Each structure stands twice: as C-alpha cells, then as structure tokens.
C-alpha cells in the first residue's frame, strides 16, 4: 500500500505544472461568470425573488458557482432563477458544460495519464528495457561452460513471446533431433523468469564441486514453466 501511495504522490507531483495551468483557467472562467451573474441577479434576493442570497455579492456568487460546478443542487438554483428570468437556464447550463464537464474531466484526465505513464515506466524497468517499450527481447549475455556458449534468442508472435534455448547436439539424448527448448509465455512472465534463471545459472556456475551442468540445470528450471514446448 505504501508503494502505491508513493507512486500516486510521484505522479501528482509530476503533473503539478499542468494542474496549475488548468486551475488558473478554471479560476478565470469562474471569475467571468461571477461578474456576469452578480450583475444580472444581485437584486433578486432584495426583491424576495430568491429564498437565499445566491448572487448578492461577488464572493456569494463565487460560492454558488462552485456549488453548481460540483452538481450540488444546481437544478434547484436554476429553477429559482427561472421563476423570474426564464432564460437564466442558458447561462447555468453553459457554465455547467464548461466547468462541470470539460474542466473537471480535464483535471481527471491529466492525473490518470500521469499515473498510466508512471505505471508504464515501472513496467519497463521491470522488463529491463530501460524505460522504452519494445516488441522483442534483446539477445542476452551468453552463459559459458566447458567451452560452450548458450545464447538467448527470442521472437515475438502476437501477444506471447517465444524464447528459445539452444542446447546443442550433445544434449539430444532421446535422438529426436531436438536441439533447443522453446517456451511461450507472456512478455512480463518471460522476462521475470529468464532474469531469475540467469542469476541462478551464473551463481551455480561458480559453485565448487557442482555435478550438474549448466544446461541440465536450465532444463530443470524450464520444467517449472507451464506448458513448455519441446
């Protein structure tokens, strides 16, 4: 939960300049409408045409417009105005469309875009792609043992990545001509498993008195992968 909170705070801090620009635009629009409705409806309360003094002063008008922007009983205010001025709904509806629908949704869109971008960067780092999206895995470093080098090759096919491990003719124990193992998994799962296995392989190659070869250890790890294709 703290990791998610940290990501949210990071995303919000990154879009503060955009949020400030949108807030300034919102305040400007609200000020224009405040001056308009105050001049048009400021005498209605004194004439007993309104139950509450919604637009008597500029500050009251600002509060009322903020209430309308949040859709809090905005229709009731509009109907009270329409009892005296039948055309008052045009101003209120126009204000609701601009501030209630466009500006507020623009703020939400900026926040959602920042969180999505941060989530994408975090995913790219986990995949090891340096923050940039890619459609295939780059060739990894070879694991050497007894003069042999095993390189990782990968291709992309639709939504799944096919990762191939060349084994060499000496590992074709069953005589079926199979010189590699290919595993199909999702890109995130593939990258996570391969990096874990690579670390384990490099660590196991340095152990003294090791009896199993690197390729045999690799096969043991691949047996843990769901539905491998040989």
Domain that holds residue 76: 2-127
Report the number of distinct structural domains present in the chain.
2
Out of 127, 159, 192, a domain closes at 127
Query: How do residues 45-54 score in pLDDT, each as one tens digit?
Result: 988 888 899 9
Out of 102, 127, 152, a domain closes at 127
- 113-117, 120-124, 141-145, 161-165 — which one is most confidently predicted on average? 113-117
CB 55 within 8 A of CB 84: no
Report the candidate in 132, 103, 101, 136 with the shortest Cα–Cα distance to residue 117: 132
Query: How do residues 126-164 score in pLDDT, each as one tens digit?
Result: 655 444 444 443 444 444 444 444 444 444 444 445 555
30 found inside a domain: yes
More confident position, 65 or 199: 65
pLDDT of residue 115: 83
CB 86 within 8 A of CB 80: no
Query: How do residues 7-45 score in pLDDT, each as one tens digit?
Result: 788 888 888 999 999 999 999 999 999 999 999 999 999
Q: What pTM value is reported for the model? A: 0.53
Q: Same domain, yes or no, for 68 and 148?
A: no
Q: How far apart are CA 136 and CA 138, in angstroms?
A: 7
CA–CA distance from 41 to each of 15, 56, 78, 103, 154 (Å)? 38, 7, 12, 25, 71
Q: Same domain, yes or no, for 115 and 175?
A: no
Q: Same domain, yes or no, for 23 and 111?
A: yes
Out of 78, 103, 127, a domain closes at 127
Q: Same domain, yes or no, for 119 and 49?
A: yes
Q: Average model confidence (pLDDT) for the chain?
A: 72
88 found inside a domain: yes
Q: Same domain, yes or no, for 29 and 114?
A: yes
Residue linked to tokens 């998610």: 4
**What CATH number did the domain enclosing 49 receive?**
1.10.287.70
Q: How far apart are CA 39 and CA 58, in angstroms?
A: 9
Q: Same domain, yes or no, for 93 and 156?
A: no
Q: Are strands 160-166 and 153-157 parallel, antiparallel or unpaired?
A: antiparallel
What's the whole-number mean pLDDT along residues 67-80? 93
Q: Same domain, yes or no, for 122 and 147?
A: no
pLDDT of residue 149: 41
Q: Same domain, yes or no, for 17 and 89?
A: yes
CB 121 within 8 A of CB 6: no
pLDDT of residue 194: 65
């Amino acid at each position: 939960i703290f990791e998610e909170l940290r990501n949210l705070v990071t995303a919000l801090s990154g879009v503060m300049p955009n949020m400030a620009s949108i807030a300034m635009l919102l305040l400007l629009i609200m000020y224009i409408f405040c001056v308009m409705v105050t001049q048009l409806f400021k005498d209605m309360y004194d004439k007993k045409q309104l139950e509450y003094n919604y637009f008597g002063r500029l500050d009251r008008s600002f509060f009322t417009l903020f209430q309308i922007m949040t859709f809090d009983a905005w229709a009731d205010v509009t109907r009270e105005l329409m009892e005296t001025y039948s055309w008052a709904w045009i101003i209120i509806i126009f204000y609701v469309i601009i501030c209630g629908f466009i500006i507020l949704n623009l703020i939400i869109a900026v926040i959602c875009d920042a969180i999505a971008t941060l989530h994408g960067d975090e995913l790219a780092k986990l995949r090891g792609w340096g923050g940039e999206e890619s459609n295939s895995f780059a060739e990894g470093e070879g694991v050497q043992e007894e003069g042999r080098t095993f390189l990782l090759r990968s291709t992309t096919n639709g939504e799944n990545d096919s990762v191939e491990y060349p084994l060499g003719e000496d590992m074709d124990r069953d005589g079926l001509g199979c010189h590699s193992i290919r595993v199909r998994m999702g890109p995130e799962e593939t990258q996570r498993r391969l990096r874990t296995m690579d670390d384990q392989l490099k660590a196991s190659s340095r152990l003294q008195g090791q009896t199993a070869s690197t390729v045999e250890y690799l096969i043991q790890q691949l047996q843990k992968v769901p539905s491998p294709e040989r």
